[in-house]
Amino acid sequence: MVHKTIVRSVVKKIVHNDRIITIKLQAEPINILMMQVYMSTSEHEDDEVEELYDIIEEILEEDGKGDTNTIIMGDWNSVVGDESYRNIVGPHDLGRKNHIRQMLINFCERNGLIVTNTWFRKPKRRLYTLKAPGDRS
């Protein structure tokens, strides 16, 4: 899972469930916590989505404190829209929004995170990973 040149830097690795995996690296000047997330889609119950956010926050509380740089990557299955929101969401995402947008924004606000890919202009075809059957946009 990690390149052989950094395997000795691995402090902790955890497979939390089939949607969240974490690795913590000892680095200079600060440690690095990297998490890969595959969030439930908007077709799942909101309680299931919130449960995943709770797990992520527990990980951040336990392993992301102190001198640690946290990077959370993955597919959040959220469309945040093309309107900036404070310093959390930038202006470069798909124009429409889905209902789990606010869950992601609230999570970012609580944890001092930003939706990084919304701050960079990309071709429209690079803004999504899946096109639903019948989707004309």
Between β-strands 20-25 and 10-17, what pairing exists: parallel, antiparallel or unpaired? antiparallel
Assess if residue 137 is contained within a domain: no
Please give the pLDDT value at position 92: 78
Residues spanned by the domain of 113 = 79-128
Assess if residue 133 is contained within a domain: no
Angle at CA 69, nearest 5°, toward 63 and 70? 65
Q: Which residues of the chain have pLDDT under 50?
A: none
Instruction: Please tell me whether residues 54 and 87 are part of one structural domain.
Output: no
Q: What distance in Å separates the CA atoms of residue 96 and residue 88, rounded to the nearest whole number?
A: 17
Assess if residue 135 is contained within a domain: no
Instruction: Please tell me whether residues 69 and 2 are part of one structural domain.
Output: yes
Helix (H) or strand (E) holding 12: strand 10-17
Strand, helix or coil at 20? strand
The structure's pTM equals: 0.80
Please give the pLDDT value at position 12: 93
Between β-strands 68-75 and 31-38, what pairing exists: parallel, antiparallel or unpaired? parallel
Instruction: Please tell me whether residues 95 and 70 are part of one structural domain.
Output: no
